[in-house]
Structure formats: structure tokens, C-alpha cells
Amino acid sequence: MFDLRLSAEQLEFRDTVRDFVKNEVKPAALHPSRLEPFEKPLLGELLDYASRMGLRTLSLSEAAGGAGADTLTSCIVLEELAAGDVDIAMSIALTQGLARALFESGASDAQRSALLPAFMDDHRYHLALAANAAHADRGWHYHREYSDDAPPAATAARQANGDWLLNGSFAFVANAPIAKLLIVQAKDDAGGTCITVLVPAGTPGLEATDATAAFGGETAGGRTLARWHHGAGGAVRLTNCRVPAANVLSADGAAAFSDAAYAMRADAHVAAVNLGLGRAAYEAAVDYAKIRVQGGRPIVQHQSIGGILADIAIKLELARNAIWKAAWAADNPEAAAEGASVALPLHTIARTYTAEAMHEATLGAAECFGAMGVMRDMPLQKYVHDAFVFLNGCGHDSATKLEVAEALAGYEREYV
């Protein structure tokens, strides 16, 4: 059985978001006044709009008030959204993914009852995950256990009255500046185990900064740093941040944010956003190639440009196939067990292939624009930049693909 037809509901989602992107997002996101400055604040009103369309709660079950979208449907929607604005898409991707993990499996009934109504009612209610960084160097520990030389980013100490006291800091947490609830992973001082705690924004001792400045100051090593992420984000600091025991997730609930299923969905979502970015560059190049006349005919009729556009189209198709397959595998975990799916991390394959392919696609699309491809009042240079950020950022780099090599060699870590 092999069937790539989309359901009527999926098509409707896709077309609705496509219209939203065309009519609302692109006019704002691609306006020269937005493109030219180095600073790139989140387009908050459009993010709210996306929430009102149901995208923030997309993958929550219908019983919880969401659309019950599976991973494949989320990927279809995120690709469309990212074709308009990659930052909005990344913020939505994260909140809707975390919402599913939290409200469908992570939270207890009591926690869900306490939090879900506010989350559903407030279009500016976003979620963030301050995760233990043990896996941040994924791929670099090739065929080795994760090293212990990096201390956990946060620690938790139980108080006499049952509260927990959190201390520590995270250099960067996606969505932190817009999150009304942070899901924080911390190491229990006493037991040494990891616990996962829900920390509402505004809790005394919780501080989230907004990393929107285009350039940071000099580091101790004398390097100047440039902003390098998509969507909202910033550092999170916990200083004697007191949370009640009721905010701690059960061990099973905590796994919702650290198990393979979460990683599969999250990677597929980011790859879909990356794909949408490449598609935006591609569509711009095709449109331009049809109207730009050089050598007496539209450049799309020149073999040289045709070859570039064909290469991009092929990469988009292959990336989408890889993403949809990874999404399908995430939605059908039994398929791997039944032998219907290869025993490789399809989500990592999708993520890595898409990052590399969209990097090349955006460069090719920019080439079609000649000198206009590097002008800051035009979108092509932004697409190229954004693709570089996916290639070496957002949890991906050139070592990520080694996860695939570990899997094909059958290597498994004792501690994950």
C-alpha cells in the first residue's frame, strides 16, 4: 500500500494557509522596510492571526479543542506558513508541538485542567522547552557515550514544604520571550535524576531575555557575534525560582519531551519549515524568470536558467518526500516494528537532506536574480541567509548526519 493522496481536510488546511500567506503574511514579511534592517522583530500581529486560524493549537486533539492534526498534516501546514515567514512558522511549530506533548501525554489530568483553558483562550499563549543540553552536540559524540563534562543547565532542589527551587541558566531557549509557560528540565540535586517542571511566565526568579539584537557584543575571545536563530528566542535564567510540587511532571509525562517520538515530530516540523523557506525562494525565481527578458527572451527559456530551476524543483520534491515519510513514520510507529519502514532515523535524514538541499536551492534561486539576488530590499538574500541558519543552527550542523551512521551501524547509547 502506497498512497500519497492528501485528505480533503489536509488540502483545505493547505489552501487556507496558502491564502493567508499570500494575502497577509508576504505583504508584511517581504516589504523592503522589513527586509532591509538588520533587526528582525517577530511579526506579532500575524502570529496572533495564525493562532486565530487555529494553527497554534493545530495538533491538539479535537477533544482538547484543537484540530487533531497528525504530524504529516502539521508538516503540510508548516511548509505553507514558512513560505511566508520563517519566524512565525518556527514559533507556531514549537508551540503546537509542545502543546500536543504536554496536553495529550505529558500533563496529569489535574495539570491539564489547570492549564488547558487558559492556553486555548489566549492567542498569545505560547510554550517553550528549556531542555537539558546533553544531546546538543548530537553527532559529535559519534560512537561514544555523551560526555559528562558539561554540567546540566539547571538544577532542582526539593524544599521542606514540597516546593522545588530551580537554579541555572539556558543560553538560548526558543520561544522564551513569548512563552507564557516554560517546560524546564532540571537535575534533581538529591537524586541526580532529571525532572521536568512547568514554570509559568512571571514566576519570581524566572527571567527570559529577548535575543532580537542583530549583533551581540564581543565575546571573551574577542569575537563579535551575530544573531543566528529563527523565531523568537532568548536566554533563560532561574534564580531561586520556586515552583509547587504540583508543577512537576510524572516520569512518564516527562518522557513526552525527551522520547524518540517527540524528537521525530519536532525534527519533521523544523524540516517542513526549512522546506517552506526553499519553496518561497523557488517560487520567486520561477516568477521572475518568466518576466525577466535577457538575450531577447525570458530567462526561463534559457537552458542555463532552466537547469537551475529544475535542480531546485527536484530538491524540493525529494525533501518533501523525505519529510512526509518521516512524518508518516512518526504517525505510524508500529510501521517500523512491522518492518514496513527502514530502521534508520528518518527524521534526521529529512532534516539533514532538507537543510543541505534548501541551502543549495536558495543559492540557485538567488542566482536567477543576478545582482538583485544580493540586494537587501529583495527577499532572495534573506532566503539564502535563513537557509544558512538551518544548515548550521536550530539544532543542526554538519555532524548531525552521523546519527544516521550510528543507526546503520547498530550503535546504541547506554544512556540517552
Partner 1 sequence: MDFSLNEEQRHWQAEARRFAEEEIRPVSLRQDQMPDPFETWNWDIIEKGSKLGFRTLAVPKEWGGPGADFVTQAIVMAELARGDSAISKAFSQNWKWSHLIARSCTKEQKERFLKPFLADDRYLMGRGITEPNAGSDNRLPPPDAPKAGFRLKAQRDGDEWILNGEKCFIANGSVGSLFFVDARTNPEVNVRQGGTLFMVPKGTPGFRVGKVFNKRGWRFYQNAELIFENCRIPHANVVGEVNGGTRASAGDTTGGDIFGDLELAANAVGVCDDAIEMAMTFARTHKRAGRAVIDHQIVQLKLNEMHALTEALRSYVMRVAWERDQGGAIGANAGLAMNLSTDIIQKVTRLNMDIHGAEGCMMNARVDKLVRDAMVWTHLAGDTVQRVKILKRLQGTHKTPSAGAH
- Closest listed residue to residue 347, CA positions, set 365, 367, 324: 324
Residues 230-259 that bind partner 1 (CB under 8 A): 233-234
Q: In this chain, which of 149, 334, 338, 412 binds partner 1, going by CB under 8 A?
A: 149
User: What is the smallest separation between the CB atom of 93 and partner 1, expressed in angstroms?
Assistant: 16
What CA–CA distance (Å, rounded) separates 276 from 253?
32
> What is the dihedral sign for C-alpha 325, 328, 334, 335?
negative
Instruction: Based on the shown chain and the rule CB under 8 A, indicate whether residue 370 belongs to the binding site for partner 1.
Output: yes
Residue 13, all three cell numbers: 488546511
User: What is the smallest separation between the CB atom of 287 and partner 1, expressed in angstroms?
Assistant: 17
User: What is the smallest separation between the CB atom of 274 and partner 1, expressed in angstroms?
Assistant: 15
DSSP labels, 120-173: HH-TT-EEEEE--GGGTTTTTTTTSPPPS-S--SEEEEE-TTS-EEEEEEEEEE
Which of residues 75 and 361 has its CB atom nearest to partner 1 in the complex?
Answer: 361
Assess contact for 341 and 350: CB atoms under 8 A: no
Q: In this chain, which of 63, 190, 226, 291 binds partner 1, going by CB under 8 A?
A: 226
3-state secondary structure 323-339: HHHHHHHHHCCHHHHCC
Q: In this chain, which of 159, 239, 240, 294 binds partner 1, going by CB under 8 A?
A: 294
Which of residues 294 and 321 has its CB atom nearest to partner 1 in the complex?
Answer: 294
Residues 274-293 that bind partner 1 (CB under 8 A): 293
Q: In this chain, which of 137, 189, 252, 317 binds partner 1, going by CB under 8 A?
A: 137
Residues 375-414 that bind partner 1 (CB under 8 A): 375-377, 381, 384-385, 388-389, 391-393, 397-399, 402
Instruction: Based on the shown chain and the rule CB under 8 A, indicate whether residue 7 belongs to the binding site for partner 1.
Output: no
User: What is the smallest separation between the CB atom of 137 and partner 1, expressed in angstroms?
Assistant: 5
Q: In this chain, which of 277, 308, 319, 350 binds partner 1, going by CB under 8 A?
A: 308
248, HSE (Cβ side, Cα atoms, 13 Å): 20
What CA–CA distance (Å, rounded) separates 13 from 43?
22
Query: Which of the stretches 74-82, 117-125, 141-149, 271-279 binds partner 1 when contact is defined by CB under 8 A?
Result: 141-149
What CA–CA distance (Å, rounded) separates 182 from 112?
15
Instruction: Based on the shown chain and the rule CB under 8 A, indicate whether residue 208 belongs to the binding site for partner 1.
Output: no
Instruction: Based on the shown chain and the rule CB under 8 A, indicate whether residue 38 belongs to the binding site for partner 1.
Output: yes
Q: Residue 66 — φ and ψ, nearest 5°? A: -95, -165
Which of residues 138 and 325 has its CB atom nearest to partner 1 in the complex?
Answer: 138
Please name the residue that has the C-alpha cell 517520538. 261
Q: In this chain, which of 1, 63, 204, 304 binds partner 1, going by CB under 8 A?
A: 304
Residues 6+ apart with CB under 8 A from 317: none
What CA–CA distance (Å, rounded) separates 298 from 235?
49
Where do contacts with partner 1 occur on this chain (CB under 8 A)? 36-38, 137, 140-141, 144, 146-147, 149, 171-172, 211, 214-216, 219, 221, 223-229, 233-234, 293-296, 299, 302, 304-305, 307-308, 363, 366-367, 370-371, 373-377, 381, 384-385, 388-389, 391-393, 397-399, 402
